Chain A
Amino acid sequence: MRSCTFPGRYESLTKIASFIREAAREAGLDSFSIYTVETAVDEACTNIIEHSYQGENKGKIDLSCKIERSGLTIILRDDGIPFDPEQVPTPRLEGPLEERQGRGLGLYFMRELMDEVRFDFDEKTGNILTMVKYKEKHKG
């Protein structure tokens, strides 16, 4: 298990990306999967700053990676307000330009790019987001 804590601000995203790319490489993911994991984690951390902390510099982001034979498990924790994915609008992926907003894309990306995405919250631990990416041959 590799763990690291980052300040909850957008400037941290570059360091978070390096950390997660290295873990994904070590887990044996192919280069496109590494990019998709980097994207999902970037979106997740942006969501934590925007929704859980309601802004930058309000708290920290704990990032843990579990490297397994089947792939990579990523756990993100924060102490912000409970994140409710049901409140995030579903993005429009079709239709004319004027009707596109780009809202809700972050969560949509996380769900599309990772094999498992789970949000948990309790008073003691805060928000816990678990995301799993399997190696190609372990996908069922």
Chain B
Amino acid sequence: MEITTQQYKHCDLVWVSGRLDSATSPQLAAALQAITDTGRFKIVLDLSAVEFISSAGLRILIHAQKICKRYNRGQIILTNVPQNVYAALDLAGFTTLFKIMNDNLTAVGNI
């Protein structure tokens, strides 16, 4: 799994690629925590290159979303979600807990 982040003035854009399973999810958790630990809670997470997500990966997303949304200080927006990843989010009942958008520019502009 690879994680790349780009910092904008008001938000952070994060790209994740590869498998999000029990082995790799802690890496994503650490990357998101590195952002929220600096007091930044508006995150656009581009999932276009995620090949696989398990419940371990989903738990990381929900945990990070709770931290970002606390006190209305921000949120995580998911972008470019592949069909298989969307199916897992849907099965877990998570699609209502995230804004899901199809391009990063719109997400960065609206977060």
Contact = CB atoms under 8 A, between A and B. Distances in A.
Given A97-B62, A102-B62, A112-B91, A14 B23 contact: yes
Interface residues of B, number: 23
B97 A100 contact: yes
* Interface SS of A by simple majority: helix
A102 B92 contact: yes
Contacts of B65: 97
A10 B66 contact: no
Contacts of B94: 100
* Interface SS of B by simple majority: helix
A14 B62 contact: no
Contacts of A122: none
Interface stretch (B4-12, B28-36, B48-56, B99-107): B48-56
A72 interface: no
A39 B88 contact: yes
B52 A38 contact: yes
A102 B22 contact: no
Contact of B54 (A32, A39, A91): A39
A105 B55 contact: yes
A43 B54 contact: yes
B73 interface: no
Interface of B: 19, 21-23, 52, 54-56, 58-59, 62-63, 65-66, 69, 84, 87-88, 91-94, 97
